[in-house]
């Protein structure tokens, strides 16, 4: 409940206050549909709470990443709250093939689906059952007629270019929206959160050196113009103030648990406290 209300106020805050320029720049509307969370489960493996961003530009409607199974109902509801059906999404941009970012491509199978050429080649060769690549979903995507394989520098959406950022996965992409006044850089899991951006080391990577070089590239993009925004795969978007990342918006995360004797008795656990 808190999340649903919080999401709306966060979105309004971002758009009307912090992201007012981004809304107007180049005719884009940028909206965090699902806010990623910078954590993982301690006793149950991955958590997979990843960021999904909506970009509207003229008649085109793009999503950057599309979340995991647990987000399906939420995603449909939040698109509906914005007056959209899944079929209205014209473009889906995938940063990488991990299940928590890619698996819901089937919901947007009519859209043009952009994935890295190198990422797809690596993903379909991954061993079945051993990794967080959803092997059957990437196999189906590899043969899907609307798949567009992206290479370094390709313009994958009007005003948005793809850039190779290997490390977390070998063919990971970041997407750079070139606004008239500033850029918005969607970095997926090349840098999952603020901590990784600051210390330039990452918690999960295929290649540590590649990850460090990719984070260096993100910082170059970030510092290119004042006001540039970085949106990571598992954290709030951030802008630089005096070269320090400052969050745009407020973290929203909690879980509801049944520790009582009936289904009406629940405990809500806030996951935002430090
Ligand atoms: Zn990932």
Series of mean pLDDT values for 10-residue runs along the chain (274 residues) = 35 40 63 94 92 95 97 97 97 98 98 98 97 97 98 97 98 95 95 96 91 98 96 96 94 95 96 88
**Residue 15 three-state SS:** helix
DSSP code at position 243: T
Distance between Cα 96 and ligand 1 center (Å): 7
The confidence score (pLDDT) of residue 13 equals 39
DSSP code at position 69: G
The confidence score (pLDDT) of residue 17 equals 37
Q: Per CATH, which fold does 2-270 belong to?
A: Metallo-beta-lactamase; Chain A (3.60.15)
Query: CA 227, CA 262: separation in Å to the nearest integer?
Result: 50
For residue 219, the Cα-to-chain-centroid distance in whole angstroms is 18
Q: How far apart, in Å, are the Cα atoms of 80 and each of 73, 74, 77, 88?
A: 11, 10, 5, 10
**How many other CB atoms are there within 10 angstroms of residue 69's CB atom?**
12
Distance between Cα 40 and ligand 1 center (Å): 12
The confidence score (pLDDT) of residue 8 equals 32
Buried/exposed code over 115-150 (b: 16+ C-beta within 10 A; e: otherwise):
bbbbbbebbeebeeeeebbbbebbeebeeeeebebb
Distance between Cα 74 and ligand 1 center (Å): 20
Query: CA 92, CA 110: separation in Å to the nearest integer?
Result: 10
For residue 15, the Cα-to-chain-centroid distance in whole angstroms is 17
211 sits in which H/E element: helix 208-223
The confidence score (pLDDT) of residue 67 equals 97
36 sits in which H/E element: none
* Token duo for residue 120: 């797809």
The confidence score (pLDDT) of residue 274 equals 79
Distance between Cα 264 and ligand 1 center (Å): 35
* Token duo for residue 119: 């990422």
The confidence score (pLDDT) of residue 180 equals 85
The confidence score (pLDDT) of residue 24 equals 44
Distance between Cα 189 and ligand 1 center (Å): 5
Distance between Cα 16 and ligand 1 center (Å): 30
Distance between Cα 269 and ligand 1 center (Å): 25
pTM across the whole model:
0.91
The confidence score (pLDDT) of residue 143 equals 98
């Amino acid at each position: 409940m808190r999340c649903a209300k919080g999401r709306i106020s966060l979105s309004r805050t971002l758009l009307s206050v912090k992201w007012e320029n981004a809304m107007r720049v180049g005719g884009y509307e940028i909206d965090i549909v699902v806010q990623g969370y910078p954590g993982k489960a301690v006793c149950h493996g991955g958590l997979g709470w990843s960021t999904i961003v909506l970009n509207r530009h003229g008649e085109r409607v793009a999503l950057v990443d599309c979340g995991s199974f647990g987000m399906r109902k939420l995603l449909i509801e939040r698109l509906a709250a914005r007056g959209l059906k899944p079929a209205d999404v014209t473009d889906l941009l995938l940063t990488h093939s991990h299940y928590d970012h890619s698996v819901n491509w089937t919901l947007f199978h009519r859209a043009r689906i952009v994935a890295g050429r190198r990422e797809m080649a690596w993903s379909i060769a991954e061993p079945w059952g051993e990794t967080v690549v959803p092997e059957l979903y990437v196999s189906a995507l590899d043969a899907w007629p609307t798949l567009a394989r992206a290479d370094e520098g390709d313009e994958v959406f009007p005003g948005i270019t793809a850039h190779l950022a290997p490390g977390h996965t070998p063919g990971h992409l970041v997407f750079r929206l070139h606004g008239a006044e500033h850029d918005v850089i969607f970095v997926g899991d090349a840098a999952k959160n603020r901590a990784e951006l600051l210390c330039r080391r990452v918690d999960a990577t295929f290649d540590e050196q590649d990850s460090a070089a990719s984070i260096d590239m993100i910082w170059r993009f970030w510092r290119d113009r004042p006001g540039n925004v970085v949106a990571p795969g598992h954290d709030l978007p951030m802008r630089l103030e005096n070269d320090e990342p400052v969050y745009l918006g407020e973290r929203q995360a909690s879980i509801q648990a049944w520790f009582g004797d009936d289904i009406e008795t629940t405990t809500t656990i806030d996951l935002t406290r430090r």
